[in-house]
Structure 1
Amino acid sequence: MDENEQQGQNREPEPERAPSHTRYFKIKPFSFVMLIFTLVILTAGITFFALTFGDDKVVEVVSPQKTDRAEFQKLYDAYDEIKKNYYEDIDDKKVLDGAINGMVDALDDPYSDYLNKEETDHLMENISSSFQGIGAEIQEADGYIKIVSPIKNSPAEKEGLLPNDLITAVDGKSIQGMSSSEAVLLIRGEKGTTVTLTIKRGEKAEPFEVKVTRDDIPIETVYAEMLDGNIAHIRLTTFSEHTYDELLTAIDDMEAKGMKGLVLDVRQDPGGVLDGALKISDLFVDKGKTIVQTQERGKKAVLYPASDGRKVKVPTVLLIDDGSASASEILAGALKESAGIPLVGTKSFGKGTVQSPTDMRDGSNLKITTAKWLTPDGNWIHKKGIEPDVKVDYPSYAMLPFLDPSEELKAGSTSANTEPAKEMLKAVGYDPGKIDGTYDDQTADAVKKLQADLKLEETGVLTGDTAIGLMNKLKDKIEKEDPQLLKAKETVEQKISK
């Protein structure tokens, strides 16, 4: 929060406190909406409408004849001039939609958006009982579409997409300048169909293509395992309406197995409904302490205190990274500031606003940011993120670009993928020689050793199943030698020993 905002807050009355026992189901409509717009790229669009549009309302579009507001006269004059003098007949509806889009774009807010009736209908047309798509959370960022996070076990994750990857084109069509809703219409699709994404990773890296086969998106949001020393590792992949119950089941299971400590993991968790963040935070925050604050324009902040319900008593650490956004950050702020639970990993994404949707009479939909949320201590983390108490970066090899299995890398190749391929080989225990863009005999020998281990023909050519096998080995290494998880586990063990 900047100085002016802080001073403004200091002049306001004391924040209101939401009733601790009733707040989960009596919060204001906008409070349920914590997803980044067009969060999960799904064919069905279920998440989009069930969560983002869960508390929508219908309004009547007021015509010029019904208002005498002077600020609109310029708009009417412009419309009349276009209608009268444009050299061709105009599409009145298209022009009106364009005017609304222009107003929303002028907000410079990637979380506010307008969908005309056709776009809204398109998102709804394939609604079914299953989630289908590539499974990635996106947002607009400086004219590009940026991946906030791939969902665990989704096609996007399996194909190596990472937080902060920029999608520059879809099936060869540039999407630069598109809204997130426009991009979703191109990216989503039915199970079994493929989409080719052009990805830019890092400022200097060359763009590369990733072919993703759309599939059912896992709807399970909680994954639990017991680590050495009876330290439970529970990962939350999103905050859906069922996540809290799934988490309670996982905790019960870990307690039955003798849990002595807990690593709660919201890395690459892009958020979800506020209700889930509140109830999960409540498990770790003492009764009466603040979980989060919400504040609308010109109004005093409303505090949401913890209840006297069930609490997790074992030493706990929270894992975060730059894919932890929205509801994940509410949890992180609550645990850090109201429960004294340390955060391990890298700085979180930085989404501190709340969106509210409105269904227009003609079937279009307008979604705008209506409030900001603050941490218990009153910090606004928007565009800043939350810093971990213990910073642990990902290893460099975890950020290497995807290798296209259809490309052949062999002696004499000059492909831009040669250097990252050699880095992968080195990371998983094969010596490819000097790490540069030259695919030489030593590189070919390293690939032959890889192929022998994979029980493939030893050609020395990196392509097809060899490339896939190499990337799978790298993924296994990242999961087994996760430095952030190891540090979090160590931190929990230190708390247990005190």
Structure 2
Amino acid sequence: MKNESGEASVEEENQKQPKEAGKFIKIKKFTFIMGIFLLIFLTAGITTIALTFGDEKVDPLASNKHSEFEKLYSTYDTIKDNYYEEIDQDKLVDGAINGMIKSLDDPYSTYMDKKEASSFHESISSSFEGIGAEIQEQDGKIMVVSPIKGSPAEKAGVKPNDIILSVDGKSLEGLSSSEAVLKIRGEKGTKVDLSITRAGEPEPIALTIKRDTIPIETVYAEMLDDGVAKIQVTSFSEHTVKELETALNDMSKKDMKGLILDLRGNPGGLLDQAIDMASLFIPNGEVVLQVEERSGKKDVFKSKNNGELKIPVVVLIDDGSASASEIVAAAVSESADIPLIGVKSFGKGTVQTAQDFDDGSNFKYTAAKWLTPEGNWIHKKGIMPDIKVNLPDYASLPYISPDKELKASDSSSEVKAAEEMLKAAGYNPGKIDGFFDEETTSAVKEFQKEQKVKETGIIKDDTTVKLMQVIREKILENDTQVKKAVEVLKKEIK
């Protein structure tokens, strides 16, 4: 008979050597008793050392000092040993970590398994495949911070503050932002069905979006009239400041006399890029921001600008400007007196850091809050522009899925949105009431004729795409915020 270690048991030894059995048992008893005395002696010694020198000396020999984890260990062991099915131990540990972080009730702190962590790192690299929308978890719901410029999400009409209810029919309720990202992202060319809610819309909006490669090109520059350049920064990635410096040089060669720095729809990104970007516009030595730790200790970051721009600058912000873009906006406003134009920003005043684990997973947590140069905390409040300017009402019209057919006698919120689009595009759909009547049909046919689309009087497929394209172009042509920025700059250009 063998015990669990594979060695011969005491009973077997006694059978093999009957004359020596008594002696053997006495030796065993003696060894056992001496072991007890030795344990008592070591315990007393450890206690003495602890009393004399403190905890630092005893840590290597002491038991786990986190006694508050005893419930966690006990729960883990019980589930591992007694649950009615075999469990994935790694999944159990991931769940424990995830639960701990969720208990912080902080939408910006999250645990990411290996796959989620890879997706997180992609978001600040050169490109990824998906729909191109920055999201965050808020109160158990997944909210859009901002779609990326030129992305499928933007083209489909996704707006800041939209709530994504489901992906391909599966609810996102209770998921973290990193978990939601994995469901929304996918290979280029594949489609994803989203259901979203939007303030002011009585019913959820159904969107079908075709995924694509989302390049993380973050700076777009163009020269407007009268020497005014507009440079849009869409996020803060690894090379954003270098991209901006290149754009500034290019615009200077085109005789740039004034600059519009467009941070609208910019959901943020890397803190160091925000600090370096703000420094391009702030005099050397002036404060860019303050980072305050839990203890109250503040780290003050100052501009290290070696050559400040000598042209007038204005900055555009909106409700999609968040985090790093708010750092830049607040910094240039308070430390360089650069005017802000647009509408109130999103309001994210915390700083996150990520810690990687050896298995490729990581967790991101809020480590501090950031304050403006003057010590203001804009969290959940946002930044008010110096000059408030709204975009035209039609700029906030909801997306209409090209797959959905809108025809005579239909009545819905989509019909109302289509009527408003037709009116904004210069056609008369009659009373805008969400009812597809004869006047709406006539307006649709007139639109189709001018756009060289088959005249059916029905809004679907190419007609829908053309209608939304016309509206996007009209928004660009009548960008009231850019027009105001140009007006302000012209007064400053010498």
Q: Does the TM-score normalized on the shorter chain lie above 0.5?
A: yes
Matched AA of 1:436: D
Asked if structure 1 preserves the Cα contact closer than 8 Å seen for 2:126 and 2:217, the reply is no
Q: 1:92 to 1:250 in 2, by over 3 A?
A: closer
Q: Secondary structure at the match of 1:312?
A: coil
Query: Conserved in 1, the CA contact under 8 Å of 2:282 and 2:305?
Result: no
TM (normalized to structure 1)? 0.82
- Using the size of structure 2 for normalisation, the TM-score is 0.83
Aligned partner of 2:194 in structure 1 is 197
Cα offset, 1:494, TM superposition: 2.5
- Structure 2 residue runs of 5 or longer lacking an equivalent are 1-61
How far the C-alpha of 1:117 sits from its partner, in A, is: 4.1
Matched with 1:109 is 106
Deviates more, 1:419-428 or 1:192-201: 192-201
Q: Secondary structure at the match of 2:157?
A: coil
1:330-409 matches, cutoff 5 A: 330-409=327-406
Amino acid at match of 2:357: M
Give the whole-Å Cα distance in 2 for the aligned partners of 1:81 and 1:110.
Answer: 31
Q: Which residue in the other structure is 1:184 paired with?
A: 181
Asked if 2 retains the 8 angstrom alpha-carbon contact of 1:146 and 1:165, the reply is yes
Q: How far does residue 100 in structure 1 lie from its aligned partner after superposition?
A: 1.5
Distance 1:254 1:364 in 2: 42
Contact 2:137 2:143 in 1 (8 A): yes
The whole-number CA distance in structure 2 between the counterparts of 1:418 and 1:261 is 43
- Residues 425-483 of structure 1 deviation map (CA, whole Å, 9 limit, x = unaligned): 11111110001121011001100110011011222111111111110000001111011
Identity %: 57
Q: Out of 457, 462, 469, which is 1:460 matched to?
A: 457
Corresponding residue of 1:249: 246
Residues 230-262 of structure 1 deviation map (CA, whole Å, 9 limit, x = unaligned) = 111111111222222222222222222222211
Residues 35-434 of structure 1 aligned to structure 2 (within 5 Å): 67-83=64-80, 86-117=83-114, 119-120=116-117, 130-434=127-431
Deviation at 1:85, TM superposition (A): 5.5
Q: 1:320 to 1:289 in 2, by over 3 A?
A: same
Deviation for aligned residue 1:197: 1.2
* Aligned residues: CA RMSD: 2.3
What is the alpha-carbon distance in structure 2 between the residues aligned to residue 66 and residue 355 of structure 1?
A: 33
Letter in 1 for 2:205: F
CA drift at 1:129: 6.8
8 Å CA contact 1:268–1:322 kept in 2: the answer is yes
Structure 1 residues 465, 488: closer, same or farther in 2, change over 3 A? same
Give a deviation string over 1:389-436, Cα, whole Å, max 9, x none: 111122221111111112221111123311111011111111100011
Secondary structure, in 3 states, of the residue corresponding to 1:138? Answer: strand
Q: CA, structure 1 residues 478+125, in 2 after alignment: closer, same or farther (shift >3 Å)?
A: closer
SS of the aligned residue for 1:217 comes to: strand
How far 1:71 sits from its partner (Å)? 1.9
Native 8 Å contact 1:153 1:218 kept in 2: no
The structural deviation recorded for 1:114 is: 0.9
Contact 2:125/2:216, CA 8 A, preserved across alignment: no
Residue 309 of structure 1, CA deviation:
0.9
Distance in 2 (CA, whole Å) between partners of 1:442 and 1:271 is 45
CA distance in 1, matches of 2:486, 2:124: 41
Do structure 1's residue 483 and structure 2's residue 483 form an aligned pair? no
Q: Take 2:310 and 2:426, find their aligned partners in 1: how far apart are those partners?
A: 41
How far apart are the structure 2 equivalents of 1:244 and 1:124?
Answer: 19
Question: Residue 291 of structure 1 contacts residue 306 of structure 1 at CA under 8 Å; is this kept in 2?
Answer: yes
- Deviation per CA, 1:106-163: give whole Å up to 9, x if none: 1011111112345446778999974322111111122211111111111111111111
The alpha carbon displacement at 1:78 in A equals 3.6
The question of whether the paired residues in 1 share the 8 Å contact of 2:125 and 2:237 is answered with: no
Inter-partner Cα distance in structure 2 for 1:363 and 1:473: 46
Q: 1:492 to 1:66 in 2, by over 3 A?
A: farther
Rounded to whole Å, the distance in 2 between the matches of 1:465 and 1:402 is: 14
Distance 1:270 1:126 in 2: 12
What's 1:54 paired with? Answer: none
Cα distance per residue 1:258-309 (max 9 Å; x no partner): 2221111010011122222122211211111101111222152111111241
Q: Deviations over 1:35-84 (max 9, x none)?
A: xxxxxxxxxxxxxxxxxxxxxxxxxxxxxx95132222333344455456
Confirm or deny that 1:493 pairs with 2:490: yes
- Could you tell me how far 1:210 is from its partner in structure 2? 1.3
- Is the contact between residue 349 and residue 385 of structure 1 (CA under 8 Å) also seen in structure 2? yes
Aligned mates of 2:293, 2:346 — CA distance in 1? 22
- Specify which structure has the higher proportion of helix: 2
Distance 2:270 2:157 in 1: 26
Q: Which amino acid aligns with 1:276?
A: Q
Sort the Cα spacing of 1:212 and 1:285 in 2 relative to 1 into closer, same or farther, 3 A.
same
- Secondary structure of the 2:136 match is strand
Q: Distance in 2 between matches of 1:277 and 1:122?
A: 22
Task: Tell me which amino acid in the other structure corresponds to 1:456.
Answer: V
- Which SS does the other structure have where 2:143 is aligned? strand
1:313-367 CA distances to partner (integer Å, 9 max, x unpaired)?
1111100011111111110011110000110001111111111212224443122
Residues 1:274 and 1:118: Cα distance change in structure 2 (over 3 Å): closer
1:469 aligns with 2:466: yes
Distance change >3 Å, CA 83–CA 242, structure 1 → 2 = closer
3-state SS of the aligned residue for 1:131? strand
Q: Give the length in aligned residue pairs.
A: 434
